[in-house]
Structure 1
Amino acid sequence: MNKKFLYTSLALALSFGAMAQDQNAIKFSAPVNKDRAYQHLSILASDEYEGRETGTKGGWMAAEYIKKQFQSFGLIGPVKGGKDPYLQAVGISAKKLSGVSLKVGSQTKENFKDFYILATSTPAKGFNVKASSIIFAGYGLNKEDFNEYAGQNVAGKVVVIFATGDPTAKAPAQPAQGRRGQSSVGSQQAKIKYLQDNKAAGVLVINERVESLSDAQRAYLAEGSADLKREDASNKNTLPVVTIGTTVANQILAGANTNLEEVKKKIAETLKPATTVINIPVAFTAKLVEEDIKADNVLGFLEGSDPKLKNEVVVVTGHYDHIGLVTDPNATDKVNNGADDDGSGTTGVLMLAEAFAKAKKEGHGPKRSILFMTVCGEEKGLWGSEWYSEHPVFALENTITNLNIDMIGRGDDKRPGDNNFVYIIGSNMLSDDLDKIGKKANTDYVNIVLDETYNNRTDPNRFYYRSDHYNFAKHGIPVIFYFNGVHKDYHQPGDEVSKIDFPMLAKRAQLVYYTAWELANGENRPVVNKNADGTLKTN
């Protein structure tokens, strides 16, 4: 935020702030304080909760704690059709492989030493591929001026290619932009797609780093992969993919009287394909096993008091999951406690829920309804909030705003010595009304520095896309993301309760509370006057 504008705003707040304050809002803000914050966070971020990783005991313990807090406040569990009205089961499954094998010629290869197979690149029914010969197709390119498949019919055949590279490229490929890599003909994804589209029986991808995998990397590969069950994400892959190292690749290429070094040199010097059929038998198998993972979003609902407005909902979120236990067996601290990330945000949601629930009990409940929701799986890829946005308990068209709290307990290494700030992200991305409401709530009640350094779509950190608010914003729901920035303990065991600035945690949570109060009691919902790209709507 521009400093001159900020100081002007603060001066106006000092002159006129009292006139705009709602005394009931102030009265019922009492539970949003540093002591209550410590009570919650010292439990959620304790070693007993083992880092709250999604799908683990620690994550389930956190969900149970939050649920009991919502119940004690008198919030309603709004989830219908499940075992527990406070828990929205999130569809997550883990994919693992069994029966993995690779045989080249008469030699049986060793998994994770000579080769590996990823569950994510395995067809849903697994595979059992046998072939008496292999097509070596170099870099697997099918460009107009460099087609390594010219004269070859790959249907029903096993093909060997290099994982990456394009010897005809005139300049190094530019780094991938955004969240996804490039889709050029030189990418492995494009190479695999070509072979799948042309009905190859399987592909052996040469990656010269296979033999140098660390123990941690081997363990990671062996664990398989978990992901959200998306309706449009059925396993459409039909091509078995095996990644092989240099030993296996050279054994295959020996059948053509060459090796990796020689064939790469030949292609680079001639700029001509070196495709050849190699008469060596190969067989590879794998079976895909899918297991459900238990994980839940925790929901507490406070119904609005105004018959005309209670169908409109303000959603307040924070993710209660973190990254779990340390994998290094030699580590002295075994727990990634996640006190700031996002125990602090979860604590903020709990304090707001208690404050609004008390207001309602004393006859001053919000006019609109409020959903307090702590979500799972944020660290895995925003899973919990994505699941809610695709399976909403309350219609998205009636959701007027999402206020998302993710890390509000510490300072930022880029702002040393002064924690009296909070980054706000997204507040004016879709709605100028929401931006004004949030900033006015700050001026009227809190007077914290609102830093908008990351409040744009082009920031290289991409914070706008990296927390749970984004799964609301992508559906056209205006959002504000409250964030204290990144510090040296981010995703490290050092993210401990002892390092939390509890007065600032409470102050930042108060800003969210007063913003929610204004939204829940205002005469009109924030108008969405901008498109997804930030341009103004014309109608």
Structure 2
Amino acid sequence: MKSFAKTLKLLLVFLITFPYLGFAQSDEELKNIIASVNKQRIVTTISTLCSSGSRVVGYPGNKAAARYIEKEFRSIGLQNVHSEEFQLVAPIDKGAEIFLPSEGKKLALYCLWPNFVRTPTVPPEGISGNLIYVKQGRWSDFNGKQVENSIVLMDFESGTNFLNARLLGAKAVIFLPTKNILRAEAERKFLRLPVNIPRFWISSQDGELLLTLLQKRKSVPVNLKAKMDWEKVVTRNIFGFIEGNDPKYKDQIIIVEAYYDAMSVVPALATGADQASGIAALLEIARTFSKRVHPRRSIMFMAASGHFMALAGVDDFVQKHARKKRIFRQRIKTPINFHLFLGLDLSSHNSQLGTFYTGAFYNPTLSLNISDEYYRFRYFVPFGKRMATYAKSFSQLANENVDDVFINSISPTKGRSWRNYFSGTLFAFDAEIVTHCGNPGLALITLNDVRTAWGYTY
């Protein structure tokens, strides 16, 4: 949280001193604003967002988060607070269980994300078989076991070895949670092929019960039932405004955005604590601007949903309000002409902040398209240089080393490019859609953080 608070303070300095937004503030005023960042309030915000269940689109926590954010926007004092609904298709876990006839017990299971489009749904009568435990699912772990027509219990930390179970004829795989699951392990459970192997997650407590039974008995027959459906679901983006106080510029809008949904390979269990960093920062920034800063231009604060569903929230906003090509512009009923879009994509395990003009959504291989990237690079270079200047001012005010708090990722030095700051993991930024539709968009990102807790149940 200490690193995250430092990042938030730097963001406030960026936005307050940004010529587009605030009037010049004295060093004393900036120090007071920096000091006003309330760590406990940030913790409370994140705890509240995590307290209502999964924030994956279509699940109760996503709707609860939207209600909470809209309520906070109003209590902060933002103007014209409203939301816009849009529709997505999401895999909804309708419930799963494993029945132990010998014990007369039913234990809860949770469906994993579908194998491409194949959900873990089984026939209404369920599937039956003997339960076997295969540790990490390596080929040698199956030695001496009757795998065909079995229900396999496997450690979650097993890569893609669940495919071994399917190749040997298993009917389903249940994953046992192990300690300190990393993002890379969770991501290996997202499969891009419709493999017919239902997969589930079980709690540590219930998993221990199954292991105990397997130690006591040679045969543990079970029946497994599950239903997960692809459904059309409704989610929404939430907006709030602060009107600029300069008559000449107040009709020019700057958008500051963060997403509030979450993602987990177990969609019904997406606490998304670290994934809530960006929206927690957005609320704190909105609170500061509403109470202490009087911007020249108007600010639209946007809490977007559907980030983890192909950036759907920002895409919906752009299609409704901000397409530039004539064929699309003619269909827009309520155009919004904004001067800059700033998307926050933050995490809490490093204090370094960087600014990006592109990401991996439209360019997943990070290849260099000179004709396209060169012109965007040239356009955004001044933004990066200006932000580096603000970061230097912040480091002096906060008595920090500037390299510890900000990296100009648009035009970095020492032979590096923006690609070098992904820490082995590809990131898709909401600002990418904005830029590709002809509007200036920048992403403000926590750098050098692999975000190890993302994609799992944390």
Identity within the alignment, %: 23
Change (3 A) 1:28 1:118: closer
The equivalent residue for 2:297 is: 368
Change (3 A) 1:222 1:76: same
Is 1:486 aligned to 2:450, yes or no?
A: yes
d(CA) in 2 for partners of 1:117 and 1:439?
42
d(CA) in 2 for partners of 1:463 and 1:369?
35
Offset from partner CA, 1:215-262 (integer Å, 9 cap, x none) = 139x9x984546xxxxxxxxxxxxxxxxxxxxxxxxxxxxxxxxxxxx
d(CA) in 2 for partners of 1:385 and 1:462?
25
Deviation at 1:337? 1.6
d(CA) in 1 for partners of 2:456 and 2:427?
22
d(CA) in 1 for partners of 2:294 and 2:76?
13
Offset from partner CA, 1:467-508 (integer Å, 9 cap, x none) = 2111222123141322243133221224xxxxxxxxxxxxxx
Is 1:213 aligned to 2:217, yes or no?
A: no
Deviation at 1:404? 1.6
Q: Is the 8 A contact 1:426 1:455 kept in 2?
A: no
Is 1:382 aligned to 2:311, yes or no?
A: yes
SS at match of 1:469: helix
SS at match of 2:418: coil
Change (3 A) 1:44 1:455: farther
Change (3 A) 1:222 1:67: same
Offset from partner CA, 1:259-296 (integer Å, 9 cap, x none) = xxxxxxxxxxxxxxxxxxxxxxxxxxxxxxxx4x1200
* Worse-superposed segment, 369-378 or 401-410: 401-410
Q: Which of 267, 286, 301 does residue 241 from structure 2 map onto?
A: 301
The equivalent residue for 1:22 is: 26
Is 1:37 aligned to 2:33, yes or no?
A: no
SS at match of 1:443: helix
Deviation at 1:338? 1.3
Q: Which of 40, 58, 62 does residue 61 from structure 2 map onto?
A: 58
If the length of structure 1 is used for normalisation, what is the TM-score? 0.44
Change (3 A) 1:469 1:40: same
Residue 473 of structure 1 aligns to which amino acid in structure 2?
T
Offset from partner CA, 1:61-93 (integer Å, 9 cap, x none) = 00111111110111013xxxxxxx521112334
The equivalent residue for 2:357 is: 426
Q: Is the 8 A contact 1:51 1:325 kept in 2?
A: no
SS at match of 2:295: coil
The equivalent residue for 1:344 is: 277
Residue 306 of structure 2 aligns to which amino acid in structure 1?
G
Q: Is the 8 A contact 1:74 1:357 kept in 2?
A: yes
Aligned residues: 272
The equivalent residue for 1:469 is: 431
d(CA) in 2 for partners of 1:455 and 1:51?
36
d(CA) in 2 for partners of 1:42 and 1:91?
27
The equivalent residue for 1:90 is: 86
The equivalent residue for 2:77 is: 74
Alignment of structure 1 residues 156-171 onto 2, 5 Å: none
Alignment of structure 1 residues 275-354 onto 2, 5 Å: 291=232, 293-323=233-263, 326=266, 335-341=269-275, 343-354=276-287
Residue 426 of structure 1 aligns to which amino acid in structure 2?
Y
Q: Is the 8 A contact 1:406 1:482 kept in 2?
A: yes
- Gap runs ≥5 in structure 1: 1-16, 78-84, 97-115, 120-208, 227-290, 328-333, 412-419, 495-539
Change (3 A) 1:457 1:422: closer
Q: Is the 8 A contact 1:88 1:296 kept in 2?
A: yes
- Gap runs ≥5 in structure 2: 1-16, 18-23, 93-114, 119-192, 201-223, 323-333, 359-375, 396-401
Deviation at 1:30? 4.7
Deviation at 1:372? 0.9
Deviation at 1:424? 3.0
Residue 305 of structure 2 aligns to which amino acid in structure 1?
C
Residue 319 of structure 1 aligns to which amino acid in structure 2?
Y
d(CA) in 2 for partners of 1:312 and 1:388?
17
Q: Which of 356, 377, 393 does residue 289 from structure 2 map onto?
A: 356
Structure 1 outlier segments of 4+, above 6 Å: 116-119, 457-465
d(CA) in 2 for partners of 1:305 and 1:60?
34
Q: Is the 8 A contact 1:434 1:478 kept in 2?
A: no
Residue 455 of structure 2 aligns to which amino acid in structure 1?
H
| CA root-mean-square deviation | 3.7
d(CA) in 2 for partners of 1:117 and 1:315?
34
Deviation at 1:299? 0.9
d(CA) in 2 for partners of 1:337 and 1:117?
23
Residue 479 of structure 1 aligns to which amino acid in structure 2?
L
